[in-house]
Structure 1
Amino acid sequence: MDDSGQLAMVMTTVANEKDADRLAQSLVDQCLAACVQIAGPVTSYYRWAGEVQKSTEFRLMIKTSCKAWPGLKAKLAKLHPYDEPEIIYVAIDDASDGYRTWVVDQTT
């Protein structure tokens, strides 16, 4: 299969639901994502600036096509409120044919 039918899920987190909504709306409006699910609040523990931090965040699970990934990555980095945002790309090895077609149609 060529890349035109490949799907991916991209994950990121933000500090509040307002930012999550803003990012989700923008990515879907610009056809960079077919669907964005917002989950949270979640608790994150991480090391930043040499200290262990604990934050409440909202997780965005962004469904997209591999073809849309470069534009999505650039837009997410530009719009994201964090200095160093988590932007994780996970290739989807398989999906139902109908869902795959829908995601590709929404992101091209």
Structure 2
Amino acid sequence: MMGLTSRQRDMLAVIRAAIEERGVAPSYDDLGARLGMCKSSVHRLVHGLVDRGAIRLLRNRARAIALVEERFQAPVEAGLTFLAASTGRSREQLVEQAVAEFLARQVRS
């Protein structure tokens, strides 16, 4: 998982605690009330956590936030770190290249 901002770490902790305590993810309203944010700020932070691979959103479900298990994150992080060191490119550049190559393959298929 790419580095998180302090607000993203706070939100991830609240999401993790809610899932552990109640067995379901919190709603955007719950997150906003707990963190003192408006719904649009919650939305922005949630999607930032998705972009960084900390959570994923489940389609067509209420309370549709799911945690990404760390055992799935570690190999990706290790691979990105290795590639960045060996190629001299940033992790963000490597991810952008991988996404561009994937999309190009999809278009050709």
TM interval, shorter chain, is: under 0.3
Higher relative contact order (CA 8 A, sep 6+): 1
Please give the TM-score of this superposition, normalised by the length of structure 1.
0.27
Please give the TM-score of this superposition, normalised by the length of structure 2.
0.27
Larger Rg: 2
Point out the structure with the larger strand share: 1
